A = this chain, B = another copy of it.
């Protein structure tokens, strides 16, 4: 067994941290590590928190952690940071924003820069969740900024997705419309003391009426995360959604789908490494004139 995995199973928090770094850097031994970690997964519950910048996601996550801790749950956070694909610097400073739990050794917070391909981020996020899971974390919160492509992928990772908006998010809703409705299991209108909060909640509910998501009625909650108002209701709504997922074999079907998606992601990431090496080699000396012809020549040699 990989020595860090052995230490992870022995509850060494430093090993968890080092493994997270290996996963973030897509190190060569990630495949081996995760094959071993996988066997110890399946316990943790996952919540995705997403929404536009400035909606108060980190504050909400922070307060939610407080409620989870009161329920004696060990909590892990993966905060997906927007950053340059080139410089790779994470800019959010989540560790600072989630200060409430800085001294709690049952709360783990980890940022993941969004450099690299979407598939890579998706796989790295999944793997960080698995590392938490194998380390005995009960609840993993995946926080992601923005309402765009990246967030849709959280769906396959988080069992329950919370979309956080503010009374000022009218434009966001306008732009996303169907998309935002389809990713949300729970809506939160945060900063609910601001003008327009009730109207926003009302509009969301009106939209939801025409876009019912199976048997689950998507709740629209008002919160003031900074003052911990409405957060216990959010916690309760997350629990309700989980109960819903458990019902009528939905959890089993979902697990099957996730495993297929994961397997495909892993295969594609490994193939993509090979392709990058191969194309580079092919174009080192000679020039590509028609990328379709070059691609075809490569593809004809692949048996899959």
- A contacts, CB < 8 Å to B: 31, 34-35, 38-39, 53-54, 82-87, 89, 91, 114, 117-119, 145-146, 148-150, 152, 171-172, 174-179, 181-182, 256, 259-260, 262-264, 266-268, 270-272, 274-276, 278-280, 282-283, 287-288, 290-296, 298-299, 301-304
Contacts and interface: CB of A to CB of B under 8 A. Distances in A.
B275 A259 contact: no
Copies of this chain, whole number: 2
B290 A35 contact: yes
Given A31-B292, A266-B291, A287-B256, A301 B299 contact: no
B266 A91 contact: no
A194 to B, nearest CB: 16
B82 A118 contact: no
**What DSSP secondary structure best describes chain A's contact surface?**
helix
Across chains A and B, which 8 residue pairs bring their CB atoms closest together, nearest first? A266-B295, A84-B178, A35-B292, A84-B179, A262-B291, A263-B291, A259-B288, A53-B175
Nearest to A259: B288
Contacts of A179: 82-85
B256 A299 contact: no
Given A117-B118, A145-B175, A299-B270, A275 B264 contact: yes
Nearest to A82: B175
B271 A178 contact: no
A292 B83 CA distance: 29
Contacts of A280: 260
A146 to B, nearest CB: 5
